A and B are shown apart, each in its own frame.
Chain A
Amino acid sequence: MWRRYGDAIYTLVTFAVFGFETIALGVLSISFLLGRTSGIASTPVEGVLLATLTSTASALALLGFFLLGYHFTSSLRDRWHVEQLDVWTERWIGLALEDTPAEQIADSPMPRRLPRAAVDAVLSLLEVVKGDEGDRLKAVLARHGVDRLLLRHLRSGHLTARLDAIESLGKARLPQAFDALLSLLEHPKPVVRRMAVRAAAGTLATMTPEPGPEGPGGRFTQALKGASLQSGVAQESLLLLETRAGAVLRDLLAEPDLGDRLRWVVLETTGRLGLADMAGEVASSTTHPDPELRAAAFRALHRLGSVPEDAQASLLDALKDEVDFVRVQASHAAAFLPAEVALPALEPGLGDDSWWVRRAAAAAMARLGDDGVATVRRAAETHPDQAAREMAVQILLEAGALDPAAARLVKGVA
C-alpha cells in the first residue's frame, strides 16, 4: 500500500522542516510576549515575524521542490524498476529450472553486486519456489553476499533498514539467518519482535527437521515461550510453520510450565490447522479450570471434527457449564458425538437463556443427520419456548431444510 522508495528521506525532510518551524514559532511567541512593553507591533517583534515568515516560506518551497522532484524521479524509477524486475524474474526462473547443480551456479555470468531489482525479483520468487529450485536461488543470494548484507542490516541502527532486512529474510527463508531472527524475539520494539517471529517461522518451515531441544524446532519453541508477543502474533507464527507445526505444537503442549496464554494459542492453532491426530492432546484441556481454555479446547475439537472417547464425558458436562461461551463451543463440538448421545444432551440448549447457546445447539443438532434435522423440526413446531422455536426455524432455513414460505406458517413464528 505504501511506496518505500524515498519515504524515509521524506520523513527526515519533514522532521527537519517542522523542527525548524517549531523553533521559529517558539522564538516568535517569546518575542510577542517580551514585546509587550514596546507594543506588539514594535520594530523588533516585526523583525522576528518577518524572519519566521521567511523561514516558513523557505520550508514551503523546500518541501514543494522535494515533492515535485520526487514525483518526477519516482515515476521514472517505477517504470524502470518494473522493467528490470521482469528481466530479472525471467533470468532467475531460467536459472532455477536449469539442471546445473547449485554449487556450479557460482560460475554463471552475473554482475558481482546484484542490483536492487535483481534482489527483489529473487526474493519474490523465493516466496513461492521451494525445494531444489529454491535452493538454487538461495545459492545465488549467498554467492553475491546478499545474505551477509541482510544479516548486517538486521543489526542496523535504522529501524526502517532493519525492518526491510527482516522482511527480506522472511521471504528468502535462509537457514543461516534463523538464529539471528530468533535473537530478535527479545528486541524491545514490538514491531521488530512481530516481524522477526514471522520470518523465523517461515524459515523453520523450510529447514531440515532435527529432533530435540537443540534442533531448530526446539530452539523456536524455547524462543517463543520466552518472547513477549500478542496471542494473535504467536498464533500466526505457528500457522506459518506449515508441515513443521505439528511437532512444535506437540512440544509446546507437553511443556509442563506452558503459560495459559500460549496454551490457548496452541489449542487455537491446532484446530485451525486441522491436526486431527492431536485430538487426544487437545482433549486433555477440556477440563482445564480456565473457561477460556476449556472453550478453546472444544473449539479445536469442533474444527478437528472429532471428539476422543475419553473427552465425551467432559463435553457432556460442558454443555451444562456455568459459562455461556463454554456451552457454545461444547455445543458445536457435540456435533461430532454419536447422534444418540448428542441429541438428548443438546436439546435443552435450545431453551438456553443465551441466544448464542440456542444457536449453537440448534446448528449442531441440524448437523447430526436426519435424526438431528427431525429433532430441530419438531422443536420448531412444538417447543414451549418461542425463542427456541424461532431459532430452530432459522437454523432449518440456513441449512436449506425449510422453505422460507413454509417458515412463516410455523406456529408462533412470523
Chain B
Amino acid sequence: MWSAPLTIYQYVLLIYFSGLNLLYALFCCVGLRALVIVFAREFSQGSLRDLLERDVYKPVSILVPAFDEEVSIVGSVRSLLALQFPEFEVIVVSDGSTDQTMARLVDAFALAEQPWASRQDLPTAPVRHTFRSLTHPNLVVVDKENGGKADALNAGLNLARYPLFAAVDADSMLDAEAILRATRLFVEDETLVAVGGTIRPLNGAVVRDGRVTELAMPKRWLERFQILEYARAFFTGRAGWSHFKSLLIISGAFGLFRRTAVLEAGGFLVGTVSEDMELVVRLHKHFLRKGQPYNIRFTPDPICWTEVPTDLKTLRRQRNRWHRGLCETLWKHRDMLFNPRYGRLGMVAVPYFWFFEALSPLVEVSGYVIVVVGALTGFVSPRFALLFVLLAVLYGMLLSQLAAGVETFLSTRYPRMRDRIVLLVAAFIEFVGYRQFLVFERTLATFQVPFKRGQWGKMRRQGAAAVATPVDGPAVTAPRP
C-alpha cells in the first residue's frame, strides 16, 4: 500500500536534491565571478582613497538598537565612532533596557540630556529622553520604552538626518572602511535602495581599540563551524542572489539603506523576529508595484564582525529565531509566491526560499527517515541508501570547501597556516552531527511559527572581551577564554 507513495516521494527527494545543489553551484560560480571582477579590481584600496579625498560620499546615520547590551555597547559605539568616514552620526536607541546599558553609555561618552526636535515619520513607543555626547558631537542616544528591535530602529529613523542610514547590531563591530565601501555603491547607482554587507564571526579575533586587527581561529569547533557557515551564506549565496537582482535578505547586523525609500515603504515592521528580511522583501514589493527602477545589492567588501554563539543553547535559540523569522516573512508576503507581477522575485526567489529554505529541514529530516526506514524494511537497498547519503554529504562538503576557499582570497584572511587548514578540515567534519543538530532545531522552529510569533528568546552575550583577544583597547578588557 505504501510502496507507490514512497516511491513517488523518493523521486521528489532526488529531484529536490539535484535542483538544490545545482542552484548552489550556480550561485557559487556567479558569486565568485563578482568577487574576482568587481570587488577585487574595481573597488581597490587606491580607488577608495580617491573617493575619500575627493569628497564623493553620502553622509550616513548609523542606527544602533540596543536592548540589555551592557556587555558590548560601549565597545561597539567606540568602534563606530572610530570609523573612517567624513560625515556620519551614530544614533544609539536603548529600547527600554533593564540593565546598565544607559548608565554605561552616559559614563563612557559624557551624555547630556537635551530636548530634541525629531520628526515623527514613523510611530514608535514613547521616547523618554534624548542625550547628546559632550565628547563626540556626532553621537546621539535615545532612551525609549521597550517596543522591540524594529520599533527602536524606527525611533532612530525619526532622528536620522542623513540620506543614508546603516542599521548595525549593538554586539557588532564594523571594519574601519565598511561604511565608505558601502556608500560608494550608492554614489555609483542612484537606483540603489539597500546594500547588505558581509558579516564575519568575531570570535577568536584580536581586537585593538574597537577594531579587529588580526584573525585567529576560535578554540571551539562550534564557533569554527559558524565561520564556515557565514562564509558560505555570504560569499556564495547572497552574492549569487544579488547578481540576479533577487536578494531577499540583508542581515540585521549590518545593512545600509536609503532613508527615503525605507520611509516610503513604511519603516521596519514591529512585532516580527526578522525585521531585516521583512523590510527587504517589502522594499522589493513596494518598488515593483510602483514600477519604479530600484536595486538591492549585496557587497562582500564592507565587513561587519559579530559575536557568534559559543554554546549550543544560544545557538539553538538563534537558529530557531532565524528560521521562524524566515517563515513569518514568507507567510506575510505569501501573495508573492509564483506571482508573475513580481517578476523573477515572485517566480524564482520567493519559491526558492519557500521550498529550499523554509521547508528544507522538513525535507531533509524526512529524507533521513525514509533512508533509514527504507533500508531497515528492505524497500531501499542499504548499499544504495548509504551511497546516496554519502553523495549528499560530499556535495555539502564541496560547497563548504568552496566557502573556505573564498575566505583564503580575502586580504584579511587567517594569517596562521594552521588556522586555515583547520577551516578546511571544518568543512569536512561539520557534516557529522553539527548539521543534523541544526536541521533538527529548524524543523522544530517550523512547527513553532504559529505559537511563538515575534518572540526573540534571550541571547547569551559574552561581549568582545570574552570571544576575542583584547590588545590595549579601551573597548575590551577581559582575557580570552
Binding site for B on A (CB under 8 A): 1-4, 6-8, 10-11, 14-15, 17-18, 21-22, 25-26, 28-29, 32-33, 36, 40-41, 46, 49-50, 52-53, 56-57, 59-60, 63-64, 66-68, 70-72, 74-75, 127, 159-160, 163-164, 167, 170-171, 191, 194-195, 198, 202, 230-233, 235-236, 239-240, 272, 355, 358-359, 387, 390-391, 393-394, 397, 404, 407-408, 410, 413-414
- Known: A1-B410, A239-B56, A394-B117. Contact between A63 and B188, CB under 8 A? no
Inside 8 A of A387's CB, which chain B residues have their CB?
A: 117
- 8 Å CB interface, B290-326 against A: 301, 303
Give the tally of cross-chain contacts (CB within 8 A).
204
Distance A4 CA – B263 CA, assembled complex (angstroms) = 40
- B391–A56 CB distance below 8 A: yes
Distance A414 CA – B129 CA, assembled complex (angstroms) = 10
Inside 8 A of B32's CB, which chain A residues have their CB?
A: 10-11, 14
- B401–A60 CB distance below 8 A: yes
Contact of B21 among A10, A25, A66, A358 (CB under 8 A): A25
Inside 8 A of B368's CB, which chain A residues have their CB?
A: none
- B388–A2 CB distance below 8 A: no
- A407–B56 CB distance below 8 A: no
Give, as a whole number of angstroms, the nearest-CB distance from A306 to chain B: 19
Residue of A nearest to B134 (CB): A404
Contact of A239 among B55, B401, B411 (CB under 8 A): B55
Inside 8 A of A67's CB, which chain B residues have their CB?
A: 401, 404-405, 408, 424
At the interface, yes or no: B261 with Cβ under 8 Å from chain A? Answer: no
Distance A270 CA – B7 CA, assembled complex (angstroms) = 71
Distance A64 CA – B116 CA, assembled complex (angstroms) = 58
Inside 8 A of B132's CB, which chain A residues have their CB?
A: 397, 404
List 25 contacting pairs A-B, 8 Å CB cutoff, sorted by A. Answer: A1-B39, A1-B301, A3-B40, A3-B413, A22-B25, A28-B18, A41-B380, A57-B394, A63-B398, A67-B401, A70-B408, A163-B37, A195-B41, A235-B56, A236-B50, A236-B54, A236-B187, A387-B117, A393-B117, A394-B117, A397-B115, A397-B132, A404-B114, A407-B115, A408-B114
Give, as a whole number of angstroms, the nearest-CB distance from B380 to chain A: 6
Known: A236-B54, A240-B50. 12 other contacts (CB 8 A): A1-B303, A14-B28, A41-B384, A56-B394, A63-B402, A163-B37, A170-B46, A202-B50, A230-B188, A232-B56, A236-B50, A239-B56
Inside 8 A of A75's CB, which chain B residues have their CB?
A: 417
- A18–B42 CB distance below 8 A: no
Say whether chain B's binding surface is mostly helix, strand, loop, or mixed. Answer: helix
At the interface, yes or no: B387 with Cβ under 8 Å from chain A? Answer: yes
Inside 8 A of B37's CB, which chain A residues have their CB?
A: 159-160, 163, 191
From B9-17, B147-155, B338-346, B468-476, the one touching the partner chain is B9-17
Distance A14 CA – B303 CA, assembled complex (angstroms) = 24
- Known: A49-B391, A191-B38, A407-B114. Contact between A64 and B401, CB under 8 A? yes
- B387–A46 CB distance below 8 A: yes
- A18–B39 CB distance below 8 A: no
Give, as a whole number of angstroms, the nearest-CB distance from A381 to chain B: 14
Distance A397 CA – B384 CA, assembled complex (angstroms) = 75
Contact of B412 among A1, A397, A408 (CB under 8 A): A1
Inside 8 A of A8's CB, which chain B residues have their CB?
A: 36
Inside 8 A of A71's CB, which chain B residues have their CB?
A: 408, 417, 420-421
Say whether chain A's binding surface is mostly helix, strand, loop, or mixed. Answer: helix
Inside 8 A of A63's CB, which chain B residues have their CB?
A: 398, 401-402, 405
- A232–B187 CB distance below 8 A: yes
- Known: A1-B301, A171-B46, A397-B114. Contact between A46 and B51, CB under 8 A? no
- B54–A18 CB distance below 8 A: no
At the interface, yes or no: B455 with Cβ under 8 Å from chain A? Answer: no
- B115–A394 CB distance below 8 A: yes
- A50–B33 CB distance below 8 A: no
At the interface, yes or no: B47 with Cβ under 8 Å from chain A? Answer: yes
- A22–B115 CB distance below 8 A: no
Contact of A17 among B186, B394, B398 (CB under 8 A): B398
Give, as a whole number of angstroms, the nearest-CB distance from B28 to chain A: 6
- B398–A59 CB distance below 8 A: yes
Inside 8 A of B10's CB, which chain A residues have their CB?
A: 40
Inside 8 A of A68's CB, which chain B residues have their CB?
A: 421, 424
Distance A413 CA – B33 CA, assembled complex (angstroms) = 56
- 8 Å CB interface, B339-393 against A: 380-381, 383-384, 387-388, 390-391
- A390–B397 CB distance below 8 A: no
Give, as a whole number of angstroms, the nearest-CB distance from B188 to chain A: 5
Residue of B nearest to A397 (CB): B114
At the interface, yes or no: B332 with Cβ under 8 Å from chain A? Answer: no
Inside 8 A of B331's CB, which chain A residues have their CB?
A: none
At the interface, yes or no: B409 with Cβ under 8 Å from chain A? Answer: yes
Give, as a whole number of angstroms, the nearest-CB distance from A150 to chain B: 14
Contact indicator per residue, chain B 180-220, by CB within 8 Å of chain A (1) or not (0)? 01000011111000000000000000000000000000000
At the interface, yes or no: B333 with Cβ under 8 Å from chain A? Answer: no
Inside 8 A of A57's CB, which chain B residues have their CB?
A: 394
At the interface, yes or no: B395 with Cβ under 8 Å from chain A? Answer: yes
At the interface, yes or no: B35 with Cβ under 8 Å from chain A? Answer: yes
- B116–A11 CB distance below 8 A: no
Inside 8 A of A11's CB, which chain B residues have their CB?
A: 32-33, 36
- B189–A194 CB distance below 8 A: no
Residue of B nearest to A56 (CB): B394
- A231–B190 CB distance below 8 A: yes
Inside 8 A of A167's CB, which chain B residues have their CB?
A: 41, 44, 46-47
Inside 8 A of A230's CB, which chain B residues have their CB?
A: 188-190
Inside 8 A of A127's CB, which chain B residues have their CB?
A: 46
- A414–B115 CB distance below 8 A: yes
- A4–B56 CB distance below 8 A: no
At the interface, yes or no: B437 with Cβ under 8 Å from chain A? Answer: no
Give, as a whole number of angstroms, the nearest-CB distance from A21 to chain B: 6
